[in-house]
Amino acid sequence: MDERKDHLWKVAEEAEQRIDELMERGTAVGTLGVDVGTSKVVAARPKGKSVETASQLNAFMVVPWSRVTEKTLSQNEIAYYREGDELVIFGTDTDRFANMFNAEARRPMANGVLNPREKAAMGVLETILQAIVPKARAQGDILAFSVPAALPGREAELTYHEGTLRRYFEGMGYKAVAVNEGLAIIFSELEDENFSGIGISCGGGMCNGTVAFLSIPTIMFSIAKGGDFIDQSAGAVLNEHSTRVKIMKEEGLDLGRAPKDKFERALHIYYEDLVESLAEALRGALSRAEKLPRSDRALPIVISGGTAKPRGFRELFERALKSRSYPIEFAGVRMAADPLTATARGALVAAMYEK
């Protein structure tokens, strides 16, 4: 059955649920945007009149195999697979499981690219991706996946990362296109500004920024600090596992309020460090640029990503920007409509553009 089924929705006697079934089976997918982030992988695809997204935590942990453990995982519907004498727990359940056992979750990626210290990195990442990326339905289906900007001196790692992911997605039958993370945010959030502005993604492994003018990226920059940096640094000074710090961080940190305990104090300190580094990286990138975008309008800045989610982050970043001078004018800082899915949504726009 190689015919397209999308137009089934046009058959007269169709029922709404039939369309939903088709969507659920992935038959309506012709384009897909995937944010392959250090902390999370998020896929976005068109669904009827809107866009639907799915995500998985990009993490895993390994526990020794025993019949009892496997049965427990199975009964609790925790995603895992067996590898020899070990059970690999992966995806969204990993943090919960790691916290429960006071263990450290591991990541297939670090600093935005495949983790060179994890031998099983690509295998685990593939398993996680399989949970949210269906095989291509037809020749010519396009998948756009996000890649970070290269850290200075580590361009080769990015080349390997991008090439490996491209091969994997092509193996699933897609025409795979890489899109820079910051640009994806611009595609997703700055449509009304003709895709002109600055998109910044604050992810788990790093922060990425792109300056684009009329959709053309002109400057890219990145820093090797992200959510993991905050979790690990705070964990180290608090003598806590970073997984536990991460959970506490996500439970309602407010960077606009004075810290109320030592956990929050540590998180505030490292957040301020990250934001200062980011503002400085933007200043450095703009100062070094040979050609700056010529525009009559001030450029808006959009921030996105899980690390930017805590309340007060935007204001903190704005303060850091104001304490420096820049060769171009900014039209304020705003948060993406949905910081966790903005990159995937932007990648979907890139995929639809390629279609």
Partner 1 sequence: MRTVDAVGRGIEDPVLKLRFLRTSLKNYRRRDEVIGRVPWPSLRRFLYQWFTVGGLQRLLRNPLAVSLPVRGRARRSLRLAQGALVLTAASVAATAGGLTLFAMRLFRAEEAPVMAADAAPAPPAAAVVPVAAGTTEPEPGGPPETLGQRPAGIWQVEKGDGWELYSNGLRIETGYAVLGDKRRYRVFDQDVLSPETFDRPVGILFHTSESDVWPLEPGFNENLRGSTHRLLRYLAREKTYHYLIDRFGRVYRVVEDEAKANHAGHSVWQDEGRVYLNLNHAFLGVSFETRWEGGRALPITEAQFGSGKNLTAWLRQRWDIAPSMCVAHGLTSVNPRRHLIGHHLDWARGFPFASFGLPDAYSRPAPSVALFGFGYDSDFLKVLGEPWSGVFHAERALESEAARLGRSADDLRRDKRALYDRWLQEQARVDDSPRVPTLGG
Minimum distance from residue 181 beta carbon to partner 1 (Å): 17
Q: Of the listed pieces 11-19, 63-71, 78-86, 267-275, which binds partner 1 according to CB under 8 A?
A: 11-19
DSSP string, 199-238: EEEE-SS-EEEEEEETTEEEEEEEES-SHHHHHHHHHHHH
Helix (H) or strand (E) holding 333: strand 330-335
- Binding to partner 1, residues 116-135 (CB under 8 A): none
Q: Identify the residue among 24, 191, 250, 315 touching partner 1 (CB under 8 A).
A: 191
SS3 label, residue 186: helix
Minimum distance from residue 310 beta carbon to partner 1 (Å): 29
CA 135 to chain centre: 21
Please, what sign has the CA dihedral across residues 88, 91, 96, 102?
positive
Interface with partner 1: number of residues (CB under 8 A): 37
CA proximity to 215, closest of 314, 293, 276: 293
CA proximity to 78, closest of 65, 66, 92, 64: 92
Q: Is 353 in the site for partner 1 (CB under 8 A)?
A: yes
Q: In the complex with partner 1, which residue's Cβ is closer, 219 or 321?
A: 219
Q: Is 355 in the site for partner 1 (CB under 8 A)?
A: yes
Q: Tell me how far apart the 2 most distant CA atoms of the chain are, in Å.
A: 67
Q: Identify the residue among 13, 77, 261, 329 touching partner 1 (CB under 8 A).
A: 13
| Contact by Cβ (8 Å): 67, 82 | no
Q: Identify the residue among 67, 77, 153, 192 touching partner 1 (CB under 8 A).
A: 192
Q: In the complex with partner 1, which residue's Cβ is closer, 74 or 194?
A: 194
Q: In the complex with partner 1, which residue's Cβ is closer, 195 or 271?
A: 195
Q: Is 194 in the site for partner 1 (CB under 8 A)?
A: yes
Q: In the complex with partner 1, which residue's Cβ is closer, 189 or 228?
A: 189
Q: How far apart are CA 59 and CA 220, in angstroms?
A: 27
Q: In the complex with partner 1, which residue's Cβ is closer, 193 or 273?
A: 193
Minimum distance from residue 194 beta carbon to partner 1 (Å): 4
- Binding to partner 1, residues 83-102 (CB under 8 A): none
Q: Is 329 in the site for partner 1 (CB under 8 A)?
A: no
**In sequence order, what E strands does 84-224 have?**
86-90, 109-110, 113-114, 142-147, 175-180, 197-202, 207-213, 216-223
Q: Helices (H) and strands (E) in the chain — how many of each?
A: 11, 15
Q: In the complex with partner 1, which residue's Cβ is closer, 326 or 353?
A: 353
Q: Is 16 in the site for partner 1 (CB under 8 A)?
A: yes
Q: Is 140 in the site for partner 1 (CB under 8 A)?
A: yes
CA proximity to 292, closest of 218, 197, 184: 218
User: What is the number of other CB atoms lying within 10 angstroms of the CB of residue 94?
Assistant: 26
Q: Is 290 in the site for partner 1 (CB under 8 A)?
A: no
Q: Identify the residue among 77, 85, 251, 296 touching partner 1 (CB under 8 A).
A: 296
Q: Binding residues for partner 1, per CB under 8 A? A: 2-4, 6-7, 9-17, 30, 46, 48-50, 138-140, 187, 191-192, 194-196, 214-216, 294, 296, 349, 352-353, 355
